[in-house]
């Protein structure tokens, strides 16, 4: 795990590029894992991007790459749980990021609710 985290940090830029250029993903697991590691769980001692977004402190560039990540994640099959629930949860994340991009004051609190780790993991994360 540790080794993979380091690797994924180094590859963030490559990943963003890949997100923009590839149209389909064969392996949903890879995509979801990458969004988790790159945006939800930062390496030890640093804040993940989701925390910065929740604090209303993310840059436009960060919001754009986060949005792209969620849009790809939404297209994936959830590893566990109903597809309809997965779609609803991902749509909440996407809509919240778009609201923040539009400077909608309700966006940040909507995002904090949508990004609730436990809410999604309890339904969609395999044990």
Residue ranges that bind ligand HEC, judged by CB under 6 A: 29, 32-33, 36-37, 40-41, 50, 78-79, 89-90, 115, 117, 120-121, 124-126
Angle at 57 between CA 6 and CA 76, to 5 degrees: 55
Least distance from C-beta 50 to ligand HEC, angstroms? 5
CA distance 76 to 102: 26
Which lies closer to ligand HEC via its Cβ, residue 90 or residue 97?
90
Which lies closer to ligand HEC via its Cβ, residue 41 or residue 83?
41
Least distance from C-beta 87 to ligand HEC, angstroms? 10
How far out from the chain centre does Cα 12 lie?
13
Contact 96, 111 (CB under 8 A): yes
Least distance from C-beta 56 to ligand HEC, angstroms? 16
CA distance 54 to 105: 12
């Amino acid at each position: 795990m540790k080794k993979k985290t380091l690797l994924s940090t180094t590859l963030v830029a490559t990943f963003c590029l890949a997100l923009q250029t590839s149209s389909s993903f064969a392996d949903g697991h890879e995509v979801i894992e990458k969004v988790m590691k790159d945006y939800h769980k930062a390496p030890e001692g640093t804040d993940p991007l989701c925390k910065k977004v929740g604090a209303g402190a993310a840059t436009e560039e960060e919001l754009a790459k986060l949005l792209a990540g969620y849009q790809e994640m939404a297209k994936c099959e959830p590893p566990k749980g109903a597809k309809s629930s997965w779609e609803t949860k991902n749509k909440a994340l996407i809509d919240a990021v778009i609201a923040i991009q539009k400077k909608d004051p309700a966006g940040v609190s909507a995002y904090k609710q949508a990004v609730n780790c436990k809410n999604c993991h309890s339904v969609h994360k395999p044990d």
